């Protein structure tokens, strides 16, 4: 591991100032991804700014919904009574991620910032535009079984690995950040980016910005929601594909649906075609199937991940049926 300087911040403004003045510095929250990246020489910060002591750990109800502090741990968030009762989809998504030990360390803000698990990204002997812009994409013609079927570009076909973020996308969350001039709120759909010509950029944060918390509006589908994750083994594995689904129902008529997919794109993929199709329809398996087919029609598979298209249809139907049953 490359040597680095270690300093601690005592408040958000100080943390932001410390990061802003050093382009090669990095924040340390739970460290569950950063340390892996440093050990593999993928991330090479010369200064680590420990933000673990900042008071950004609250989980609470607000007048419009719920607030998650950026430094609250994933385990604490998933098991919080407020979250379990009002946002069960989020609780399930968090608990589907990683292992208990990692969830005990990982923070909510860090979860949003974790980097792709594309194996070529972690192998510094291979070309990777995300790690070294302009070097090429080894996965495009390589073993791309885990990779994207939506929104990819010839420069990067990686998927974003978080489970929590898939639920936050379906829940229309907002990410609150602070920089050295102001604070701003980023709608979740604009937080993570598609790769385009710049896969090195995962999200819309600029260097020096600190995530302070996540706001989640109230919803009317808590009792009809689901998170379904398909993976190679039942623990400590990233999603081949996942679905977060919430149904706002009037009897068995769907007033609106909130659906997001994981493991299919460089960001949580909001299933807007399926949502639109389901509006005003009866909650039947036939309509769920049609919605899933409508959504997956635009998928573009790579050499080794064609199976994800059929898997996507089936997982979507499964999640919608589970959400309907409640």
Contact footprint for ligand SF4 (CB under 6 A): 116, 118, 120-121, 128-130, 137-139, 156-158, 199
Nearest to ligand SF4 of 267, 313 (CB atom): 267
Nearest to ligand SF4 of 72, 139 (CB atom): 139
Nearest to ligand SF4 of 130, 308 (CB atom): 130
| Integer Cα distance of 312 and 228 in angstroms | 11
Nearest to ligand SF4 of 40, 50 (CB atom): 40
Nearest-5° angle of CA 26, CA 155, CA 233? 70
Task: 290-294: list long-range contacts, CB under 8 Å, 24+ apart.
Answer: 291/257, 291/316, 291/320, 292/316, 292/317, 292/320
> Mind giving me the DSSP string for 161-226?
--SHHHHHHHTT-EEEEE-SS-EEEEEHHHHB---TT-TT--BSPPTT-EEEEEEEE--S-GGGEE
Nearest to ligand SF4 of 144, 242 (CB atom): 144
**Minimal distance, residue 269 CB to ligand SF4, in Å:** 16
Name the one residue in this structure whose structure tokens are 């604070």.
Answer: 183
**Minimal distance, residue 40 CB to ligand SF4, in Å:** 13
Beta bridge partners of residue 274, listed in sequence order: none
**Minimal distance, residue 136 CB to ligand SF4, in Å:** 8
Closest CA to 16 of 226, 227, 182, 204: 182
**Minimal distance, residue 138 CB to ligand SF4, in Å:** 5
Closest CA to 221 of 256, 193, 190: 256
Nearest to ligand SF4 of 199, 213 (CB atom): 199
Instruction: State the number of CA atoms in the 13 A half-sphere of 293 facing the CB.
Output: 6
Q: Token pair of 283, please? A: 């909650």
**Minimal distance, residue 135 CB to ligand SF4, in Å:** 8
**Minimal distance, residue 300 CB to ligand SF4, in Å:** 14
**Minimal distance, residue 155 CB to ligand SF4, in Å:** 6
Nearest to ligand SF4 of 80, 130 (CB atom): 130
Helix (H) or strand (E) holding 109: helix 108-113
**Minimal distance, residue 207 CB to ligand SF4, in Å:** 20
Could you count the other beta carbons within 10 Å of the beta carbon of residue 306?
13
Residues 6+ apart with CB under 8 A from 281: 253, 254, 287, 291
Contact 96, 228 (CB under 8 A): no
| Integer Cα distance of 44 and 3 in angstroms | 9
Nearest to ligand SF4 of 112, 137 (CB atom): 137
**Minimal distance, residue 272 CB to ligand SF4, in Å:** 24
Nearest to ligand SF4 of 157, 292 (CB atom): 157
């Amino acid at each position: 591991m490359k040597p680095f300087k270690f300093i601690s911040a005592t408040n958000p403004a100080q943390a932001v100032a410390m990061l802003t003045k050093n382009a090669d510095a990095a924040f340390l929250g739970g460290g569950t991804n950063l340390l892996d990246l440093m050990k593999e020489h993928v991330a090479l910060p010369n200064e680590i700014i420990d933000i673990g002591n900042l008071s950004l750990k609250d989980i609470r109800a607000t007048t419009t919904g719920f607030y998650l502090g950026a430094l609250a741990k994933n385990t604490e968030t998933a098991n919080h009574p407020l979250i379990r009762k009002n946002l069960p989809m989020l609780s399930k998504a968090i608990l589907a991620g990683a292992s208990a030990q990692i969830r005990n360390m990982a923070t909510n803000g860090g979860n949003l910032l974790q980097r792709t698990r594309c194996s070529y990204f972690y192998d510094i002997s291979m070309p990777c535009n995300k790690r070294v812009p302009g070097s090429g994409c080894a996965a495009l013609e390589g073993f791309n079984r885990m990779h994207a079927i939506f929104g990819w570009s010839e420069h990067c076909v990686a998927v974003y690995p978080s489970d929590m973020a898939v639920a936050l996308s379906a829940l229309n969350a907002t990410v609150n950040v602070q920089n050295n001039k102001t604070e701003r709120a980023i709608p979740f759909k604009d937080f993570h980016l598609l790769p385009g010509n710049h896969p090195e950029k995962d999200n819309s944060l600029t260097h020096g910005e600190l995530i302070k918390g996540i706001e989640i509006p109230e919803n009317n589908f808590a009792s009809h929601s689901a998170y379904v994750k398909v993976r190679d083994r039942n623990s400590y594995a990233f999603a081949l594909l996942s679905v977060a689904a919430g149904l706002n129902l009037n009897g068995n008529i769907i007033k609106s649906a909130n659906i997001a997919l994981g493991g299919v794109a460089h960001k949580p993929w909001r299933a807007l075609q399926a949502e639109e199709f389901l509006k005003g329809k009866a909650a039947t398996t036939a309509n769920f199937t049609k919605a899933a087919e409508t959504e997956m029609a635009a998928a573009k598979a790579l050499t080794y991940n064609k199976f994800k298209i059929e898997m996507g249809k089936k997982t979507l139907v499964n999640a919608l049926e589970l959400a309907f049953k409640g």
